[in-house]
Structures are given as C-alpha cells and as structure tokens.
Amino acid sequence: MKAQTVLVSVDSGSILKGARYYKELFQELVHRYNLDSMVDVLETGSLGIYREGVLVSIFPDGIYYEVRSKEDVERVVSEHLLKGRAVSALMIDEEIIKKDLPKEDAMTVETRIVLRNVGVIDPLQIEEYIARDGYMALGKVLSAMKPKDVIDILKESGLKGRGGAGFPTGRKWEFTAQTDSDVKYILCNADEGEPGTFKDRLIMEGDPHSVIEAMAIAGYSVGASKGYIYIRGEYYGSIDNLNRAIQDAYEWGFLGQNILGTAFSFDLTIRLGAGAYICGEETALIESIEGKPGRPRFKPPYPPVAGLYQKPTVVNNVETFANVPWIILNGPKAFKKIGTASSSGTKVFTLVGNIRNRGLVEVPMGTTAYDLVYRYGGGLPGGKDLKMVQTGGTAGTFVRPDQLNVKLDFDSGKLGVSIGSGVILAMDTDTCAVEAAKVAMEFFEHESCGKCTPCREGTRLAVSILDSISKGKGKESDLDLLLSLADTMEETSFCGLGQAVPMPLRSIIENFREEFLRHIRKEPCPVCVYEKPKKRKAGSIVTL
C-alpha cells in the first residue's frame, strides 16, 4: 500500500470524456516526478455525477477533483501529489459527491447499499471486492443456512424487484423453490433499455461481483445450478468487464463445481441482446436466450413455474440482485429500517435531461422527485425554469413542477408519479409537451414487437395523431381519441410494453392539456412549426 492513491473514474460515461487518457497521463506524470513508490493510480467505477470533466479522487486526503484537460492533470500532480497543496480551483465539494446534504432531514442523506462498492473499488480486481466483505454472504449462506432460511430473510426484508414492476423478490424465489424440477435457472435481466436508465450499466461496471455473488446465492436458494446474465448487445465495455469478472469468480472457486468445498455447483454465462427493448420483458428475454425473436409469452404460467426451456426460472434485475449480499450480511431488519412502509431499502435514481448534476444517486425509498431534482441534482442549468419531469422512464409519468412532492416508492404511481426504473428526466421551459409526447410515442412505435394489434397499431396511431397536433392540424376531439386509445391499449395489450404506454400518454395529456389545446388553436409554440392546412379528401375520418 502506497502513501497516496489516485482513483480515476473510468466508467462508460467518463471514458467518453477522456478518462482512460487522463489515467494514463497521471501514471506517466507520477513516473516522471519519481513518485512511483509513493502514489498508486487506479481505476474505479462511476463517482455518481457527470459534469464537463472526469472525476478523480485522492486518498487518504479525501479530495475530489474534476479534470477537463491535460493541464488540469499536470496541476494536480505537480501541486497536490508533489507539493502537498490542494488545487482548490479544480476541487469539487465532497458534499456533491457524497450527497450528504444538511442533516435537517435524515431522509435526504444518500444511503449506499447497491452502490456500496461503486466508485470505491477497482471493479476488475476480485481481491478488492473480497476485501470489502465480498463473497462473505455466499460463504455464510453455503456454510450455515438452509435454502429456506435465505428465502425467509428476503421475504422479511421486503425487497421488491427494481426493474419497475416491484414484485416481492422473496416470493419469486419461494415459488421457484417450490416448483419440483431437476433443472432450474437463474436469469439476470441486464437488458437495460428504458430511456434515461443507466444504473444497471454502472452497477455492472463498478461492482460486477455483487451481481455474480447474488446469482449464486439465488441458485442455492431455489435449487438451480445454471445462470445467464442477459445484457444489451450495445453495452460493449460492460460486457468485457463482466466476462472478466465471471472468469475471475471461476478461478477463485466462487462459480463452477463444488463451490467453497460444498456440494453446491453453479455455472454462469453471458447472453447478448441485439437491440430490442421488448427483451426486457421477462418472457421475451427467455425467448431470446432460447435463440428466438424476443416476443413475449402468454402468462400464466409465470417463469417461476415454467420459464427458460419450460423449467422453473428466477428472473431479477441487476439492481435487485445487488441488494441481496448486503441483506444477507446485515439482516432483513436493517434493510427494512430504510425506506417506506410499502417499499423497503434504497433506490438508485438516474438524474438526466436539463439538470445540473446529471448522474446517479442512491437514496432511501420515499425520497421526493423535488429533492432529486433540486437537492441532489442541483437544479437546472442556465437558470432556466422547470417545465416538467418524467419520472420512471419513458413508460413513466409526465408531471408538473407542483406534483413533485410525492414520496417516490412502489405505491406512488397511484398518486400519479411513478417510480418505474428510477429515471428523473427534468425538462426546462424550452421543451414542448406535444413534441415530448411524440418522441415518447415514437420510441414505443419503434420498439413494439408487433405481436399484438393494440400495441402495434395503437402506438402507430398515437404517433400520427400527435404529429398532426404538432403541425397545427389537430382537433380537440383528438385528445379524447388519444385517451380512449390509451384505455384500449391498457386493457387489451398482450404484455407490459403495450400496457405501459397509456401511463405517459395519459399523464401528459391530463397534466398539460392546456398546451395541447394551444397547439390545436395554433397559438405560437417555440418548438413546433405549423403547416398550412391542406384540403382533406372527402370521407377521410382520421388524420393519418
């Protein structure tokens, strides 16, 4: 261990801002100044926020810098590392990173369970994970617990699925354990496609072993000996890191035959998606692993009864799995103490759009969207006013600034503000509600798998109606048509994709109705360009 450590945030987002280059530059300069025996330069995962530059932390001083250029790196090395003088011009307030806000309200202090190691350890060094109690939970489970004990702990903890649906994880595992079969599977849903969500990517990049450990624990608990991580084909860097982590886990004996000298064996491999949002739906994901197009299956039977190859299967989200080792080691009561009555624990939120501190933050369930935008997110850049926030992802709700005080948890959707996958997308007053609705619907139109008519045709129709409104060709009755379309899709779509479309559509029309009407009256909009009306053909019903 050397006297000082420089940790450079080298996640997918930071790499785009030159993180690899800056890390190498740090190493080069440390060598040039003859500091090799004094300073270690290491990589770590995301430090949480995204500004213009790359975030770097120096320990044991506990100082965070934002470097934007070669010169910045040179200053940090020659001033801080060589002369021991902190470079205040480049420093970032530790409070912004740790997000330890004023203690007036204990709810707003960031609590790290899922991200406990992200931005702290070098994710590619399994030793660093082990040094922070990694694989201890697996050891405890295999040596001292029966499968049923593990499931009971999860049930008691109240952990619910973090992918968006919020199904109790313990019960899912219990159903799978109770189904009689010689072959069972554990699947990790890392097909993160909800626009605005990148938490799973940063968890996998920053702490891949927490997911691997949890999947092995799940295997032991339900009697499964094989697992797959289904990850998006576009996540190139994450795939490489995950492959390396799996290989290391095999070498250290945490995967494979007779794990830790017990009778339990577990094999794990990666499957790549190929650009289909629908594959985040659990049965579509299963179809995809089987080498088919990712079209959802009819439910029931649910995966715990008949999943992959018709065998009992657990499908959990990355973030859900990352909670499991912590719960095993700290107990269900400690977990339940955090959060709200209906939703225990924390939630990782991604703050995106017109927001000053874009990035991710892990806070207790029950934190309000207001706090996420203004306290953690630091408000909007350029002094602009907030117009609306979309919570929960593109399949979530569009809300007005006066609706932000709802405590976000799995029940808050009933109050019109959904938690979904944890996206907080802030939009300033330059955004047009009609345009936003159209972009959201275009996404669903593109991603609808085409299996059922309500979703395939409904999304297409929604786009064309919104397009005509944005061009000044809408009628007031179009809004009723959109709402009735939402009802039809909700009631009759085959899977969660089509059933979720009504949520954004309905919320944006209800919360921003006046703005839609302004477009229909052709009052000026800063974004939309109205076309001159053309003569309609006689007999045409819908403006397609």
353 lies in the binding site for another protein (CB under 8 A): yes
Residue written as token pair 């204990």: 106
- The smaller minimum CB distance to another protein, of residues 221 and 394, is found at 394
Order of strands across the sheet that contains 63-67: 39-44, 4-9, 54-59, 63-67, 91-92
Return the range that interacts with another protein (CB under 8 A); candidates 130-138, 214-222, 364-372, 443-451.
443-451
For residue 500, which of 460, 440, 425 has the smallest C-alpha distance? 440
Q: How far is the CB of 269 from another protein (least distance, A)?
A: 5
Identity of the residue, 156 or 267, whose beta carbon is nearer to another protein in the bound complex: 267
Residue 226 C-beta: closest distance to another protein, Å: 5
CA pair distance 379, 386, nearest whole angstrom: 9
Determine, following the binding rule CB under 8 A, whether residue 352 of this chain makes contact with another protein: yes
Residue 188 β-bridge partners: 229, 316
Please report which residue ranges of 44-93 form alpha helices under DSSP H: 70-75, 82-83
User: For residue 39, what is the enclosing H or E element?
Assistant: strand 39-44
Minimum distance, C-beta of residue 207 to another protein, in the bound complex (Å): 16
Stretch that binds another protein, among 67-75, 107-115, 230-238, 316-324 (CB under 8 A): 230-238
CA distance 241 to 123: 8
Residue 376 touches another protein, criterion: CB under 8 A: no
Least distance to another protein, CB of residue 283, Å: 15
Q: How far is the CB of 202 from another protein (least distance, A)?
A: 9
The residue whose two tokens read 């929604």 is: 462
Q: How many residues does the chain have?
A: 544
111 phi-psi bin (left φ>0, alpha ψ -120 to 50, beta other):
beta
Segments of 143-225 assigned E as strands: 185-190
β partners of residue 272:
231
Q: How near is the Cβ of 238 to another protein at its closest, in Å?
A: 9
- Ramachandran bin of 267, using left for φ above 0, alpha for ψ from -120 to 50, beta for the remaining angles: beta
Is 163 one of the binding residues for another protein (CB under 8 A)?
A: no
Q: Which is nearer to another protein, 223 or 325 (CB)?
A: 223
Q: At closest approach, how far in Å is the CB of 26 from another protein?
A: 21
Inter-residue contact 434 to 466 (CB < 8 Å): yes
Using rule CB under 8 A, residue 383 touches another protein: no
Q: List the structure tokens of 263.
A: 């009778």
**Binding residues with another protein: total (CB under 8 A):** 64
Residue 347 near another protein by CB under 8 A: no
Rule CB under 8 A: is residue 442 a binding residue for another protein?
Answer: yes
69 contacts another protein (rule: CB under 8 A)? no
Which SS3 state, helix, strand or coil, does residue 121 take? coil
* Shortest spacing between CB 158 and another protein, in angstroms: 28
- What does the angle CA 440 – CA 529 – CA 442 come to, to the nearest 5 degrees? 15
Tracing tokens 């649906």 back to the chain, one arrives at 165
Q: Pick the closest to residue 492 from 437, 446, 465, 452 (CA basis).
A: 452
Instruction: Fill in the DSSP letter of residue 256.
Output: B
Binding map of another protein across residues 394-433, x = CB under 8 A, - = no contact: x----------------------------x-x-xx--x--
Per-residue tokens: 416: 């019109």
Among 371, 447, 478, 490, binds another protein (CB under 8 A): 447
Nearer to another protein, 150 or 215 (CB): 215
Residue closer to another protein by CB (options 63, 427) is 427
On the question of a cis peptide bond just before residue 168, with omega within 30 degrees of 0, the verdict is no
Q: Which stretch binds another protein (CB under 8 A): 345-353, 367-375, 457-465, 477-485?
A: 345-353
Kindly tell me which residue out of 22, 443, 494, 512 binds another protein, with binding defined by CB under 8 A.
443
- Kindly state the smallest distance separating residue 195's Cβ from another protein, in Å: 3
Least distance to another protein, CB of residue 200, Å: 8
Q: Which of residues 281-310 bind another protein (CB under 8 A)?
A: 288-294, 309
Give the separation between CA 536 and CA 228, rounded to whole angstroms: 54
The answer to whether residue 65 forms part of the interface with another protein (CB under 8 A) is no
Q: Is 165 in the site for another protein (CB under 8 A)?
A: no
Judged by beta carbon, residue 200 or residue 281, the one nearer another protein is: 200
Cis preceding-peptide flag for 300 (omega within 30 of 0): yes
338 binds another protein (CB under 8 A): no
Cα–Cα nearest to 388, from 329, 429, 331: 429
* Among candidate residues 4, 6, 48, 1, the one with its CA nearest the CA of residue 25: 6
Distance between CA atoms of 536 and 448, rounded to whole angstroms?
30
Nearer to another protein, 128 or 447 (CB): 447
Handedness of CA 470, 476, 481, 486 (dihedral sign): positive
Write phi, then psi, for 190 (nearest 5 degrees).
-115, 25
Q: Which of 160, 172, 184, 226 binds another protein (CB under 8 A)?
A: 226
Shortest distance in whole angstroms from residue 438 CB to another protein: 10
User: Pattern of binders to another protein over 243-282, x per CB under 8 A?
Assistant: ------------------------x-xxxxxxxxx-----
The CB-of-133 to another protein minimum distance in angstroms stands at: 28
Please answer whether residues 525 and 415 qualify as being in contact, where contact means their C-beta atoms are separated by less than 8 angstroms. Answer: no
Work out whether 12 is an interface residue with another protein (CB under 8 A): yes
235 binding another protein? (CB under 8 A): yes
197 or 344: CB nearest another protein: 197
* 517 sits near another protein (criterion: CB under 8 A): no
Nearer to another protein, 25 or 286 (CB): 286
Instruction: Tell me the HSE value of 17 on the side-chain side, using a 13 A CA sphere.
Output: 19
User: Residues interacting with another protein, by CB under 8 A?
Assistant: 12-13, 15-17, 49-50, 52, 192-198, 200-201, 226, 228, 232-236, 267, 269-277, 288-294, 309, 350, 352-354, 358-360, 390, 394, 423, 425, 427-428, 431, 436, 439-440, 442-443, 446-447, 449
